[in-house]
A = this chain, B = another copy of it.
Amino acid sequence: MTSSTLAPGLADAARLTPAEARSRFRAGLVTPTAGWSRGYAQANLIAVPREYAFDMLLFAQRNPKPCPVLGVLDAGEVAGPLLAGGDVRTDLPLYTVYADGEKVTDTPDVREHWRDDLVAFLVGCSFTFETALQDAGIRIAHIAQGTNVPMYRTTRRCASAGALSGPLVVSMRPIPAGQVADAVRITSRYPAVHGAPVHVGDPGALGIRDLDAPDFGDPVAIGPGELPVFWACGVTPQAAVMESRPPLAIGHAPGHMLVTDVKDAAYQVP
């Protein structure tokens, strides 16, 4: 099958079960996953060799806003409760492979790059709370456009951990001024998937020079009366990999997430 025959329309993608979505990606479909399997949480992936696993978990512990850990697959494991019967090496639509911090390839199947000593971290993703935002009448620009969410490196530094250091990466959604408070209130109820925004408004304060040139994903238009709102992003561990240069690391390609079997609501707090 080619990507085009596998690709559902947006409404159909929203209705797929997580297992169905993963089977499409396993079969070769490459697409950003925002809007897929509505009501189910999505996750970032970062896998590093066992000798870097403590530093990565500590990096996450020290930077819980960008790196909320939803699950860890021990060295040698490729499935777990977040992806029952799945395979973390094939079930995401697209991966990025790094050697010594440099991108080697983007590929939809990383079995040939995987090693038995890789520990895979599954990290919360802000796509998880987009359903709640939509339910409150907030339009998600990148879903409406059918593009990937824009993501930016910032000049804000994460707390380092052992061999790992790097900048905070953020995702951005334009929000009408009158809905910013709702967006904050709603997303703050999802601390395990980045929670409340880290910044509202002026991108320059985060060191972002040009919203139209995201470091990852696609630009979106900011309409009149809308503010750019920035959430911590689970690409942050990959930025740490790029800076800290472990010999091998495998991440999801930004925006191309693991669709998990866990409902969004499981990550909601009162």
Which residues does A use to contact B, with CB under 8 Å?
50, 53-54, 57-58, 61-62, 69, 72, 74, 119, 161-162
Contacts and interface: CB of A to CB of B under 8 A. Distances in A.
Please state the number of chain copies in the assembly. Answer: 2
A61 B72 contact: yes
A74 B62 CA distance: 12
A187 B161 CA distance: 31
Nearest to A50: B54
Contacts of A61: 57, 61, 69, 72
Contacts of A74: 58, 161-162
| Most chain B CB within a 10 A radius of its CB, from A50, A53, A62 | A53
Contacts of A119: 54
Nearest to A188: B270
Closest 10 CB pairs of A and B: A54-B54, A57-B57, A53-B54, A61-B69, A58-B72, A57-B58, A54-B57, A74-B162, A61-B72, A57-B61
Contacts of A62: 72
Contacts of A57: 54, 57-58, 61
Contacts of A161: 74
A158 B205 CA distance: 44
Contacts of A53: 54
A38 to B, nearest CB: 28
8 contacts: A54-B119, A57-B58, A57-B61, A61-B69, A61-B72, A62-B72, A74-B161, A74-B162
Nearest to A51: B54
Contacts of A162: 74
A118 to B, nearest CB: 13
A119 B58 CA distance: 11
A89 to B, nearest CB: 20
